Amino acid sequence: MNAAASTPLDRFTFEYNPNQLMKRQANGKGLSTDYSFNGYDLTGLSNNGAPSDQKFNYQYDVNKNITGITSGNQFSEFTYDALNRILSFKDQNTDDTYTYDVIGNRTGLVNKTVSGMKNASYSFDLLNRLTQVKGGNGKEVNYAYSGDGLLYERATKEKRTRYYYDASANLVAEAEVGTDGKPSIAYAYIYDVQGKLWARQDMKSKELQYYRFNGHGDVVSLLDSAGKELNTYTYDIWGNPDTEKEQVPNIFRYSGEYWDSETGLQYLRARWYDPSQGRFMSEDTYAGNLTNPLSMNRYTYVENNPLIYSDPSGNYCVSVDGKYAHTGQCADQSNADYYMDDRIVMAYILPYMSAGVVKGFYNNKAQIEYLSPKEQNRQTFWETYSKAEFNQMKLELPLTDTEYMFATISNNSLSTKGLPKFSAKNKPSVKVGKNSGCNCFTAGTKVQTDEGEKNIEDIEVGDLVLAKDENNPDGELAYKEVTGLYRNQRDDIIKLNVGEQIIETTDNHPFWVAGKGWVFADELQVGDKLQKADGSNLTIDRVEFVKLDKPITVYNFTVADYHTYYVTDLGIWVHNTKCGWVRMTTKQATNAAKKLGFEPTKFTAKTKEKIFYNKKTKTYISQDIGSGNGLGPHNGGVWKQATTPERLNSRDTRMGTYDANLNRVGD
């Protein structure tokens, strides 16, 4: 970490466990943080090196709710109701019980201490963004936003503050705006590559100040460059400040997010949160699901379980440990139609997770595309995507929509020297839009099987392919079963020249690169070394991006247990990540069938799927879900077609299986 001049301000080091969870973070001033886990559960956090060290220990129930927290000589215990909402909180000084109405409003123990303005009134713009808070004493705070929907300025009669963000929506600097309209940077904030805040630079003194957190991600102290405490904070479970001692101003508090101490509100990008009420100031864009009454309440904060959840955007919830992630409100595990804010589009890329297991991914209608049971891996959200990538998607995806282009403030408009800049090199490897589909290879690509080399288009379910544990590059090779086949249409491919071989792949197919790990094809560079089946490496000689005149069929498949295989006669190790089978709901299938000219009938297939009829072609179709064993449809198809409803039930009598546009793909 260097100052604008050149002299390093400090150096941060990071250590990780084999499962990629952080083990230790340290800086060059002797400050460090150690983490301990039981599996993926954070059980201990220790902030070391300062005159007053801080230690936090956590206990969980079988539902992964936190039941106990130990901090120094303070012990807190918690209980939950059947919906995993916080029911009681008890420590040496507190014995609270919470009650809720049928839609999740907290009806008991609303915080009686108002953190911000008393008798305040609130104003919102046409996009439902908070623009003004006016207290009963006449005090006013005004907010302005950029075209990206991010808080741009905060203004009172006495002071005007401007905020700057990187392309990951991290607040990287704040400036005081003078009466002449010119900003003067007060603080520049420092994050790691995962988007976690660690320090800031006071631009007047040029000294660094260090943030320290508890296991929930709350700021508990701010230290000077010598490790002396400047500020300390404690909170109740909802984020209300219990104690606060400040020698210097600081905007980051509960959950490590922006806190306006004057209004008593927390800014969570899409919305503002009022911890004194445990609710948001404006309603969620997620409309809720009738089968889950709690989801119908658009104001509830993390469905009343603030100990293990945070809400970084106000529209998409990720638990602190990364084990739960989904659109809308937290803890909604239903298979429903989810709505995503146009300004925070995350469709077709973000996972739906439960108990640390990736169950599937959202499609471009914010509906879940479920993975088969064999494809579901235990991992955390932050292993699937980093926090930087998560924020990157929120910021960049709306810019493809011209509706938001006109008001967007470009990074190039930020002329203040010394602030972090974002370049294409730092872009996350997440794919969106048409590139979000299953990553694939072109026809003719050789795959290593137990019977020798086989063209990828000839691979069948049940074949045994050479594979290896995706998390262990030094692991043992084994032949693993192919569990599903996938086809896709692409009009752009990447050609990789490796030795005398040319590998043709889609841009989102991961390859194992020595010294880097899994790297998407469009991020591969000349000189990268790809691993072979014998453990040796081959160097990439050329990377060519090709735009085709018309779409071609590309192929992939899922592999039991290891989720990898080897391609070409050289045996290059590749991953089959994010190939998921889409099972439509009856409503979705009906809408899709109608677009093809088919109307619903009273018949259902033996797999319980609704059957549709076309009067012109005099044929019937039903959704192809395979044999119903969860492994997906036949030949990667979407529809089965036959001349009678009964004939849909057998390969011997139906006309075949078809893709989404009724192009035949197999028997």
Neighbours of 499 (CB within 10 A): 13
- Residues paired with 453 in a beta bridge: 448
Q: Are 593 and 585 in contact (CB under 8 A)?
A: no
Top pLDDT among 549 and 369 is at: 549
Model confidence at 406: pLDDT above 90: no
Mind listing the pLDDT tens digit for each residue in 287-303?
444 434 445 555 566 66
Model confidence at 444: pLDDT above 60: yes
Average pLDDT, stretch 45-64?
89
Q: Report d(CA 296, CA 466) in Å as an integer.
A: 48
Domains along the sequence of the chain with CATH? 279-416 (no CATH), 433-575 (2.170.16.10), 586-666 (3.10.380.20)
The tokens describing 42, both together, are 């954070």
Q: What is the mean pLDDT of the chain?
A: 76
- Confidence at 208, pLDDT banded by 50, 70, 90: very high
pLDDT given for residue 439 in this prediction:
67
Average pLDDT, stretch 423-442?
41
Model confidence at 526: pLDDT above 60: yes
pLDDT given for residue 317 in this prediction:
63
45-49, 433-437, 463-467, 500-504: least confident range = 433-437
Please give the helix or strand (H or E) that residue 290 lies within, else none: none
Mind listing the pLDDT tens digit for each residue in 257-277?
999 999 999 998 778 888 887
**CA neighbor of 397 nearest in space, from 389, 385, 406:** 389
167-171, 385-389, 654-658: least confident range = 385-389
Question: How far, in Å, are 111, 174, 184, 593, 662 from residue 415 at the CA level?
Answer: 43, 14, 11, 53, 54
CA angle 335, 339, 343 (to 5 degrees): 145
Top pLDDT among 635 and 442 is at: 442
The tokens describing 361, both together, are 């991914």
Residue 436's contacts (CB-CB under 8 Å, 6 or more residues apart) are: 348, 349, 364, 508
- Confidence at 539, pLDDT banded by 50, 70, 90: very high
pLDDT given for residue 533 in this prediction:
92
pLDDT given for residue 324 in this prediction:
66
- Residues paired with 176 in a beta bridge: 161, 184
- Confidence at 509, pLDDT banded by 50, 70, 90: confident
Residue 535's contacts (CB-CB under 8 Å, 6 or more residues apart) are: 474
pLDDT given for residue 101 in this prediction:
74
- Confidence at 333, pLDDT banded by 50, 70, 90: very low
Average pLDDT, stretch 430-445?
57
pLDDT given for residue 297 in this prediction:
57
Residue 513's contacts (CB-CB under 8 Å, 6 or more residues apart) are: 519, 524, 528, 529, 530, 531
Average pLDDT, stretch 315-342?
47
Neighbours of 75 (CB within 10 A): 14
Torsion 114-116-117-119 (CA) sign: negative
What is the residue whose two structure tokens read 């050289």? 570
Average pLDDT, stretch 241-253?
95
Model confidence at 363: pLDDT above 80: no
CA neighbours within 13 Å on the CB side: how many for 325? Answer: 30
pLDDT given for residue 495 in this prediction:
94
pLDDT given for residue 185 in this prediction:
96
Size (the chain), residues: 667
The tokens describing 83, both together, are 């919906």
Q: Collapsing DSSP states into helix, strand and coil, what is residue 70?
A: strand
237-251, 477-491, 497-511: least confident range = 477-491
Q: Report d(CA 596, CA 583) in Å as an integer.
A: 18
Q: Are 364 and 350 in contact (CB under 8 A)?
A: no
Please give the helix or strand (H or E) that residue 589 lies within, else none: helix 586-595
Top pLDDT among 202 and 100 is at: 202
Name the range with the highest mean pLDDT among 47-51, 96-100, 144-148: 47-51
Top pLDDT among 434 and 38 is at: 38
226-240, 556-570, 634-648: least confident range = 634-648
Q: Are 311 and 273 in contact (CB under 8 A)?
A: yes
Model confidence at 540: pLDDT above 70: yes
**CA neighbor of 512 nearest in space, from 453, 471, 482, 460:** 471
CA neighbours within 13 Å on the CB side: how many for 373? Answer: 4
pLDDT given for residue 8 in this prediction:
79
Top pLDDT among 84 and 304 is at: 84
For residues 285, 291, 292, 296, the Cα torsion angle rounded to the nearest 10 degrees is 40
The tokens describing 121, both together, are 């009134």
The tokens describing 30, both together, are 């002797």
Q: Collapsing DSSP states into helix, strand and coil, what is residue 159?
A: coil
For residues 457, 461, 463, 465, the Cα torsion angle rounded to the nearest 10 degrees is 70
Q: Report d(CA 479, CA 564) in Å as an integer.
A: 10
Model confidence at 315: pLDDT above 60: no
- Confidence at 213, pLDDT banded by 50, 70, 90: very high
pLDDT given for residue 532 in this prediction:
93
What is the residue whose two structure tokens read 């699901």? 289
pLDDT given for residue 366 in this prediction:
43
CA angle 350, 353, 354 (to 5 degrees): 170
pLDDT given for residue 505 in this prediction:
92
Q: Report d(CA 294, CA 297) in Å as an integer.
A: 6
Contacts 24+ apart (CB under 8 A), 193-200: 193/386, 193/388, 194/382, 194/386, 194/387, 194/388, 195/168, 195/170, 195/386, 195/387, 195/388, 195/390, 195/391, 196/256, 196/387, 197/170, 197/252, 197/256, 198/12, 198/25, 198/27, 199/10, 199/27
Average pLDDT, stretch 228-247?
93
DSSP annotation of 388 reads H
Q: Report d(CA 522, CA 611) in Å as an integer.
A: 41
Contacts 24+ apart (CB under 8 A), 186-194: 188/418, 188/419, 188/420, 190/1, 191/166, 191/388, 192/12, 192/14, 193/386, 193/388, 194/382, 194/386, 194/387, 194/388
Average pLDDT, stretch 548-568?
87
Mind listing the pLDDT tens digit for each residue in 142-197?
999 986 678 999 999 999 999 998 766 789 999 999 999 999 999 999 988 667 89
Name the range with the highest mean pLDDT among 169-173, 209-213, 520-524: 209-213
Model confidence at 323: pLDDT above 80: no
**CA neighbor of 487 nearest in space, from 556, 575, 581:** 556
pLDDT given for residue 386 in this prediction:
62
Top pLDDT among 623 and 336 is at: 623
Average pLDDT, stretch 630-647?
74
The tokens describing 508, both together, are 């989102």
Average pLDDT, stretch 185-210?
91
- Confidence at 636, pLDDT banded by 50, 70, 90: low
pLDDT given for residue 633 in this prediction:
59
Q: Are 352 and 582 in contact (CB under 8 A)?
A: no
pLDDT given for residue 410 in this prediction:
22
* % of the chain beyond a pLDDT of 70: 70
Exposure string for 244-281, b = 16+ CB within 10 A, e = fewer? eeeeeebbbbbbbbbbbeebbbbbbbbbbbbbbbbbbb
Average pLDDT, stretch 301-326?
64
118-132, 374-388, 521-535: least confident range = 374-388
Model confidence at 535: pLDDT above 70: yes
Helices (H), 385-530: 387-396, 402-405
Q: Are 65 and 78 in contact (CB under 8 A)?
A: yes
